[in-house]
Amino acid sequence: MTEKSSPFTKEQLEAIAAEVPTPFHVYDEGAMRANARAFYDAFSWVPGGFKNFFAVKALPNPHVMQALKAEGLGGDCSSYGELVLCEAVGITGEDIVFTSNDTPAYEFQKAAELGAIINLDDISHIDYLEKALGGKLPELLCFRYNPGPLKAGNAIIGKPEEAKYGFTREQLFEGYRILRDKGVKRFGLHTMVASNELNPDYFVETAQMLFDLVVELDRTLGVRCEFLNLGGGIGIPYRPEQTAVDLAYVGRKIREAYEATIVAEGLGPIKITMECGRMITGPYGYLVGRVLHKKAIYKDYLGLDASMANLMRPGMYGSYHHITVPGREDAPRKVYDITGSLCENNDKFAIDREIPDPEIGDLVVIHDSGAHGHSMGFNYNAKLRSAEVLWQREGKWRVIRRAETLADHFATLDYPGLS
């Protein structure tokens, strides 16, 4: 079987575990930074400039966000809390794009206070935003386009026509006409129709779709978009046999489409942006747990001190996360269901997975937890949220989020005897 390897030795992880209780998530800062730079290199050709707005929901930790900010990334936010995180690390103004749905007024107000690019999800939100901001729209607004049956989605987001997000094509043109007539001068266009997609041509097709729309908006309404947000959705190879998206290829093919459409129509320069989170940090996060039990009934089970509360993706989506056992690489292999202790039968990191057979007490590494891992954690069964560790270089690491305590968990309860 094809195998993935951890960048950390057993000894390095045991050194962390001596100070930080398992389970914990550990992130490789250097690898994340290098990956962010490679993304920018692939789009260095864009005449209007390129920017990736890191999807804060993927890994909402200010220490990670600060490192990515140093590499030129902005913040893609969808809530008040994510806006506040950006503000705390100094990401403000048009380095933030705020894309939200079913949005309360106070969140729009916070986005406007920070000078963020507000990306509206529905045509009715034009009036709602105007009222929320005291009767005046921002000078720059963007719309999220939902192409419906004109473009296929994928397993995570589903069919665009069944998704709750975005404007129809007809609403899009009507919405820009309304903005134009209300005196808005600056415009952007956005779409996001897939998540964790590994087909590089999917993103080229998305870019071409937006390029064609930009031309039509200019011709029919006189509305000229100054930037296009191609969304996120670039996937990562969770399975060992999968191949990462070739960013250089994507950048090159989008350049060809840009020159054949935008440049040929005399509409440039137009800035190109994206909002990738998973592909920036996902492959460089690892959930580290310890083997507590082995159970043999109708199947063989390997019980960890980690659970679905630390990484919900396998239980929620049936997603694959590779699993390795540091120091046991050459051990005989055995097939297990690898489980946590929640009172839910879907609390499984893997089903019928062959791994090197560990001993009780061994550390186990669950790969690719650097996006939508800790951030999707929860407290069912009064499980406590785990720590997050930032690996900076050989022998140097620091805790960037301590493990929760019962006092943290009970802090919102007004009840005697709980503290």
Tell the burial category of 129 from Cβ atoms under 10 Å away from its Cβ (0-12, 13-18, 19+): buried
174 close to 123: Cβ distance less than 8 angstroms: yes
Beta strands 323-324 and 363-366 are antiparallel
Contact criterion met (CB below 8 Å) for 227 and 188 = yes
Distance CA 362, CA 144 (A): 47
Environment class of residue 398 by beta-carbon count within 10 Å: exposed (0-12), middle (13-18) or buried (19+)? exposed
Q: What is the separation of C-alpha 70 from the centre of its chain, rounded to a whole number of angstroms?
A: 18
Q: 369, 405, 407, 316: which is closest to 64 by C-alpha?
A: 369
CA distance 9 to 26: 13
Spacing of C-alpha 411 from chain mean position: 29
| Strand 24-28 relative to strand 50-55, pairing | unpaired
Whether 343 sits among the annotated catalytic residues: the reply is yes
What is the maximal distance between C-alpha atoms in the chain?
71
Class of residue 419 by CB neighbours under 10 A (exposed 0-12, middle 13-18, buried 19+): exposed
Residues 291/364, Cβ–Cβ less than 8 Å: yes
Give residue 412's region: left, alpha or beta (phi > 0; psi -120 to 50). alpha
Number of alpha helices (DSSP H) and beta strands (DSSP E) in the chain: 12, 17
Rounded Cα distance between 315 and 178, Å, is 44
Handedness of CA 195, 196, 201, 204 (dihedral sign): positive
Give me the residue label for tokens 């107000």: 109
Q: Could you give the CA distance from residue 224 to residue 179 in angstroms, rounded to a whole number?
A: 12
Active-site entry in 77, 142, 225, 343: 343
83 within 8 A of 154, measured Cβ to Cβ:
no
Catalytically active residues, by annotation: 343
